[in-house]
Structure formats: structure tokens, C-alpha cells
Structure 1
Amino acid sequence: MSVNKEIKRVTTHIIQEMKNRGEKISMLTAYDYSMAAIVDGAGIDVILVGDSASNVMAGHETTLPITLDQMIYHASSVVRAASRALVVVDLPFGSYQGNSKEALSSAIRIMKESGAHAVKLEGGVEISESISRILTAGIPVCGHLGLTPQSIYKFGTYSVRAKQEAEAQKLKDDAQKLQDLGCFAVVLEKIPAALAAEVSANLHIPTIGIGAGPHCDGQVLVVHDMLGINKEFKPRFLRQYANLHEVMSDAITHYVNDVKNKDFPNEKEQY
């Protein structure tokens, strides 16, 4: 289905309408103004300012080190570029777990200082108090279940989650809980496709999958991965739509050679 050009601004209400009529929801990450302008201009429905910025932009091994101030910086940059997409921002590790007052404070700072439209939190029933408090302030919340990268040291691996019956049942219960609390959507990361299909069918709110098969109501990828800027990260669920690493490397090598050979700048490129 082609992008609906009539929509001036995608909202949580429009995301729900898309699920209701069976239109898939497109979501990509962005962390800076220039990339967000390209992503938004191409017709994406939702831009996720992910805490994956910790890996992609800052070179950390995990998402844990990124701070609330840094997330606000990235989100502000993206919001300035996004004229159509719904902008969702991750609450970073340590800014909401175990303290619902701090969770509300963190969410309010993101909304006020960045101008974003919603926040995303990882976890289920364990963080229900934080989600409730944020929602009470009128801030839309997107859930995140399955592989939750902020809990990587608890899991000890980035492998597929919820393959065992007990964990699958907990995920289904958590998804229902997130819906009951009032979340407008839930991301399902790296879980069996059949489980994601069941959860998506049972919820009336949209599910957004990453490594969760084709039956979610939408899909999300990290933009640097799908554009082939990162060449190391190649999980099964990733479809690479370009090889920008090679294109950019070739261009920069060409530039270096032109400078060394005194070919740049030429007579037309000076005043």
C-alpha cells in the first residue's frame, strides 16, 4: 500500500486507525536532523529515537550508557526535521525502572525539552506503576516486550526470547497488561513469529515487530542497519536496502586522492 500523502501529521490515533483497517505501520530509527529529514521525507509513519543511539552514534557495546540528557539532545534534533512522522523517544536505562516519580519526571523532560510526541519503555508488569503515572500526565506510551536490550546483562545473550512456554505466557500476559494500562502500541523484539502473530491478533492496539515475523501490525529497523552503514551487524531479521558503507567509503577515498593529487579544488571550485 502506498504512503498516504493526505496525512499532515501521524498521531497515535492514526496509528490505531491503520491497525483497524489492516494497513501496515512503517517505523525506522533516527538520531540526528539530517537523517531524520530524509526518513521523514520518504514517508515513514513513525520515527523512533532509540536508545540504540548508544551503539550507533556513540559506539558503546550496549544501550545502557546513554543518558536522559543525551536522549533529549538526539530527540530534539529529530523533532526539528520531522514534519509528518510520529516521533517516539526511548526512556533510557535508569530513568524509569523502580521509581514511578522519576519515570514521570524523565518523560516530562523528554516531551517538554525535545517536542517529541510519545515515549517508549521496556518491560511489562514490573514497570506498570511507571507507565500508569506517565499516562496520567497525558503522555502517550509505547511498550516494548521480548528482547529488551536494557536487560541484556540479565539475559546474558541477544538470542530469541519467549521460545519456552512459561516465558511466552508471561509475554502474552504483559502485552495484555500494557494494553489495559493504556499504551498506544507495543514493540515486539526477536520473538517467534507464531507468538507475535498470536499477540497481534489478541490485542486491539498495534504491535510493531523487529525480528518478530510478518504478522505484526508494523515493522521497525535501525536505519543505519537497513542502509548498510553498519557492516558488522547482520542478523537474520535484517533486510539491507542499500550498501552506504561502500558508497561512502568510495566517495571519501576519491576525495582524499583528489586532494593529494592537487585535483581538488579545480579552477571552477575557487573564487
Structure 2
Amino acid sequence: MADTKITPDHIRSMKQRGEPIAALTTYDYPTTRLLDEAGIPLLLVGDSLGMVVLGLPDTTGVTLEDMEHHVRAAARARPRALLVADLPAHTYDTPEQALASARRLLDAGAEAVKAEGGRDILPQVRAIVQAGIPYLGHLGMLPQSVHIEGGYHIKGRTESERQRLLADAEALAGAGAFAIVLELVTPAVAAEITRHIPIPTIGIGSGPDCDGQILVTHDLMGLLPWVRLRHARPMAELGRLMTETARQWQQQLQHRAPRSSTPGGS
């Protein structure tokens, strides 16, 4: 399997094999190569790039052109991993727009697309899947709805939310999604969804019982030392290492013997 290209069918079959699915975000060529060499099977060019790369306050300002640019960079690494790309906010408001946007991301090098929502976007999901484009669902906390919902909130705390999430997950599976990301869903409800549907769940801040986990690579690597999330403890501190390395290099330059500024020759 070392050289086998990962496909949506492979990700789907990992649930049946009981093999945990590891997924990370990527936004450029070197990161994609490094994560692929680590054996990560699913890499997401996420609209989280708005915050961790572009310095935007949230994902809602990310454009389809932004996504195309970063997908092209990541795709140049030709990863063995399945390369998925987010459809940014308001690029899938109708089935026709969703399909056109998905095709643009595939033309840029993505191998599957992801959008946020359940039964409310089912016509869009069906249009994408029926066109032969693999689809990754996203339920729970929906970052693109942050302004509508007034912040980021854990989902599944009430019985109505639990029922809605279960129905949405079942609908996405029925529409042909190969897996579903569950973001900030209560662990009990995430576990129930995972048992209930035939396709994998990939959690982020949703407890340990999903079929896999996804993290923003910058959070995992400590590349944003000024940001700390409860559900994403860094396993390295590469941000501080970068700062210290740059400081040491500057100090080495400052301590070199000064070059003579006197012109002329022998």
C-alpha cells in the first residue's frame, strides 16, 4: 500500500477495517509534500487558510480564487494522499453554482470537495456527486456561519440539535458523501452518528469516538503560538522555533567582524 494512491473509496473502507483516519490541512507545496511523506491519507486545502495564512478574522472572506491558488500549489506536490478542497462561503448557494465551483477546484488539482451543511444543501450535494465529483460533508459547528450564529458554538447539546445532526448525517450519506467532518459536536452525539451511518466520521473537537480526526496543521505544529484551542493542543512548537532560529541567525550576523567600507585595491 505504500505507493497506492488514496481514493475516496479507500477512505470509506477505513471505517469497515477499523483503521483510524488521520487528516490535516495544507495550503502550499512544501507542507503537502512533508505531510504526504508522513503518510497522512487525507489532506484538506481548507478555507481555514483565511485565518492561518491570509490573516483574516474568519473564513467568510475567503474567495474561490484564493482556494484555486492554494489548491494549485498543494496539487503540485502530487500527493499520494487524497487532496480535498473546501468550497468557500457563498460559492455553493445553488446547485448550479455549487457544481461550477466544484469543477473549478477540480481543475485546479483537487480530487474531492467539501462544503458546510446537511439537508439544507442537499440539492447542491446531489449535483456535485451526480457529476462524479467526490464529496466530503461537514456538520456541527459551521465556520462559514459564524456571523449568522454569533460565534462558534458546540452542537448537539439539545435533543432537537441531536435529532437534526443525525438526520443531516443520514441524508449526506444517502446523497453519496464518502465521509463527514463533525466539528465541535458533543462527544456523545458524535459517537452516536458514527455508529449510525455507514460512512466515516472525521472529528475535530468532537471527542475520541469518531472514525478519524482532522486538525489544522498550524495548530498541531504550534505555528500560531498566540492562538491556543482547547481541542487542538500542539505536539510541537515550530512557531517559537522559527522565531528563535531567525533571532540566532541575526545575532550571528551582528557578531561577525565588520567588513571594511574603504574602497580601493592593493
Alignment of 1:54-69 (within 5 A): 54-69=50-65
Please say if 1:106 is aligned against 2:101: yes
Instruction: Measure the CA separation in 2 of the matches of 1:82 and 1:261.
Output: 43
Instruction: Measure the CA separation in 2 of the matches of 1:51 and 1:74.
Output: 10
Would the alpha carbon gap of residues 262 and 141 (structure 1) be closer, same or farther in structure 2, given more than 3 Å must change?
same
Percent sequence identity is 41
Alignment of 1:69-148 (within 5 A): 69-97=65-93, 99-112=94-107, 114-148=108-142
Structure 2: where are the runs of 5+ without partners?
Answer: 260-266
Instruction: Measure the CA separation in 1 of the matches of 2:5 and 2:258.
Output: 43
Alignment correspondent of 2:262: none
Contact 2:29–2:77 under 8 Å retained in 1:
yes
Which deviates more from structure 2 when the two are superposed, residues 160-169 or residues 37-46? 160-169
Alignment correspondent of 2:201: 207
Alignment correspondent of 2:146: 152
TM-score by length of 1: 0.93
Contact 1:191–1:212 under 8 Å retained in 2:
yes
Residue from 163, 179, 197 that aligns with 2:157:
163
Contact 2:225–2:240 under 8 Å retained in 1:
no
Instruction: Measure the CA separation in 2 of the matches of 1:86 and 1:160.
Output: 28
Aligned AA (1:65): G
Contact 2:25–2:215 under 8 Å retained in 1:
yes
Instruction: Measure the CA separation in 1 of the matches of 2:8 and 2:78.
Output: 15
Instruction: Measure the CA separation in 1 of the matches of 2:53 and 2:229.
Output: 19
1:55-97 CA distance string (max 9 Å, x none): 0110000101111011011011111114210001000001002
Instruction: Measure the CA separation in 1 of the matches of 2:25 and 2:219.
Output: 10
Please say if 1:245 is aligned against 2:220: no
TM-score by length of 2: 0.94
* SS class of match (2:213): strand
Alignment correspondent of 2:191: 197
Alignment RMSD (CA, Å): 1.4
Instruction: Measure the CA separation in 2 of the matches of 1:134 and 1:246.
Output: 42
- The CA deviation at 1:263 is 6.2
Alignment of 1:21-60 (within 5 A): 21-60=17-56
Contact 1:40–1:82 under 8 Å retained in 2:
no
Instruction: Measure the CA separation in 2 of the matches of 1:76 and 1:53.
Output: 14
Would the alpha carbon gap of residues 35 and 263 (structure 1) be closer, same or farther in structure 2, given more than 3 Å must change?
farther
* SS class of match (1:231): coil
Structure 1: where are the runs of 5+ without partners?
Answer: 266-271
- The CA deviation at 1:7 is 4.7
* SS class of match (1:208): strand
Instruction: Measure the CA separation in 2 of the matches of 1:234 and 1:173.
Output: 32
1:173-201 CA distance string (max 9 Å, x none): 00000001111110000011110000000
Aligned AA (1:221): L
Instruction: Measure the CA separation in 1 of the matches of 2:15 and 2:258.
Output: 53
Instruction: Measure the CA separation in 2 of the matches of 1:221 and 1:263.
Output: 46
- The CA deviation at 1:167 is 1.1
* SS class of match (1:16): helix
Would the alpha carbon gap of residues 263 and 136 (structure 1) be closer, same or farther in structure 2, given more than 3 Å must change?
farther
Contact 1:193–1:214 under 8 Å retained in 2:
yes
- The CA deviation at 1:116 is 1.2
Would the alpha carbon gap of residues 252 and 122 (structure 1) be closer, same or farther in structure 2, given more than 3 Å must change?
same
Alignment correspondent of 1:269: none
| Larger Rg computed on CA atoms | 2
Instruction: Measure the CA separation in 2 of the matches of 1:184 and 1:249.
Output: 40
